[in-house]
Amino acid sequence: MKTIIISFCKLIQFFLLKIGHGTSLPGQLALKLDKNILKKMDKPKTIICITGTTGKTSICGILSEIYHTNKTKVGNNLKGSNLKPGVVSVFLENATPTGKTKVDVMVIEVDERYVKEVFKDFTPNYFIVNNLSRDQLARNGHYDLVWNEINNAISDDVHLILNADDPLVTKLALKHKGKVSYYGLKKSKLSSNEHTGKLDVSYCPICHKKLIYDYFHYGSLGYYHCPNGDFKRPDVKYESSLNDDFTFNINKQKIKMNNEAIYNVYNLSASYVTALETGIKASVIKDALNNLSLKVKRLDTFKLGNAEGVLLLSKNETPMSYNQSLEFISKQKEDKTVIIGFDRVSGRYDLKDLSWLYDIDFELLNNDSVKKIICLGPFALDVAVRLKYADIDPSKISTHTTSDDVINVIKNETTGHVYCMFYFDIFYRVKDIIHKGEK
C-alpha cells in the first residue's frame, strides 16, 4: 500500500510541478491516504532540519549549495511549504516510484510550531535553531510556548547546532544529553552596549535573576550572563568575527556576505558549522559560501524613474525581522524616504490584529536623515498612528490607504534614497514590475 500511495502522489506531483503549482499538495494527499506515510518513507543517511523565527529558508538554501558544491546528492524543501505536508512533498520528490530515497542528504526547514509534528515521524541527525523571538502573536501566543514545544520534540540522539548569542536558543541545551555545537559572533563595531528595544529574554532560566548583557548585536542576541553564574553565553568553538569590509572570519576561513545586514553572519555561520560537522572539508565550504548563486531574498536594489532605492522584505508580526530592516535603514547616512506597506497582516490567516506594531522600534526612524515616511495599504492610518507615538514629526508622514498606486508613489512622492519596507504581498508585486523593466 505504501508503494502505491507514493507512486500515485509522485505522479500528481510530476504534473503539478510541470505547471508550477501545488508544491505541498502531493504531501497533503499522501497524508490523507495514510497519516503515517512520512514515518514509513525511506530516509537518507543524513537529515538536517532548521527552525527559527528568521533565517530558515536562507540556511536551507545555503546548506544545499554547499552539498551541491561537494557533489553530494541533496534534497530540500526550498520550493515548498515548511509545514508537515511540505515536508512529505520533499521526501516524495526525492524518492523513486517504489519509495527508495535518491539523495544522501536532506535539508529541511521546519516551521517552529510544526517541529513537534514533523519529529513524530523521524529524528533528524542535525537540528539547527537559528533564533527564537516574538512572532505572529495571534498564532503562536508567547514564545515560551513555542520553546516548550520544540524542546519536548528533541531527543538526545539529535546533534544540536545552536546560535550561542540567543539565550532562548541556548536554553535548549540545558538538559540535552546529546552533542551540541555552537556558532556565534564576537563583539564588532556594529554591536551596542545598550538595548533600545524590547528584550525577549531578560531573566536567567535557572535562578530567574535578571541577565546582564555585556553587549548586543540586535534583538536579544549578544553576550549575556547570569549574575549568580547559573547561565551564560556558552563557549563557542566556531566564533565569527566581522571585518571592516563586511566579510567575516570563521574557523580561520574568510567568508563574503551578499549584503551588509548582520543576520547574514548567523545564516552563513550556521551553514558552515553544520556542513563541517557532517564531514565536508573546510575548503569546500569556503568555496561554496564565497560563490553562492542564491538570489538575495529580502534585499533588492531598484531604479524607477528618478527614484533609486532598496526593497526590504519585512515580515509582519515579527519584530526581530522588522527591526533589522529599521536598523539597516537608520544606519544609512543619506537623506531618505521610507515607505511602509502591506495589504494583509498575515499571509496565512485572516487577521486584523496590529498589536505587534507596538513591539517594533519605529523610534529608529526618528532622525534628521529621514525626510519622508509614506504609509501604504488599508492599514496605513494605523501605521501612521504608531509613528506618531514614536514622536516622529507628523509633517513627515503621509498615507495612501491603497497600495494600487505604489509605483507612482515611489516615482513621484519620494525624496533622497528610497527604502521600501514591504510585506510579501506588495514586495513581490513591486519586485516583479522592476524585473520586467518598468522605467
| Residues forming the active site | 353
Cell numbers given for 117: 509534528
In whole angstroms, what is the distance from residue 298 CA to residue 303 CA? 17
Cell numbers given for 294: 542564491
* Beta carbons within 8 Å of 153's beta carbon, 6+ residues apart: 115, 116, 119, 120
Residue whose cell numbers read 519509495: 99
DSSP 87: H
Residue whose cell numbers read 533588492: 300
The dihedrals phi and psi of 425, each to the nearest 5 degrees, come to -60, -50
DSSP 235: P
List the beta bridge partners of residue 106: 47, 75
Contact criterion met (CB below 8 Å) for 371 and 337: yes
Please name which of 331, 329, 387, 326 lies closest in space to residue 354, comparing C-alpha atoms.
Answer: 387
In whole angstroms, what is the distance from residue 304 CA to residue 190 CA? 31
The dihedrals phi and psi of 389, each to the nearest 5 degrees, come to -65, -20
**How many C-beta atoms lie closer than 10 Å to residue 187's C-beta?**
16
Q: DSSP labels for 373-429?
A: EEEESTTHHHHHHHHHHTT--GGGEEEES-STTHHHHHHHS--SEEEEEE-HHHHHH
**Is 313 strand, coil or helix?**
strand
**Is 182 strand, coil or helix?**
strand
Cell numbers given for 157: 540522539
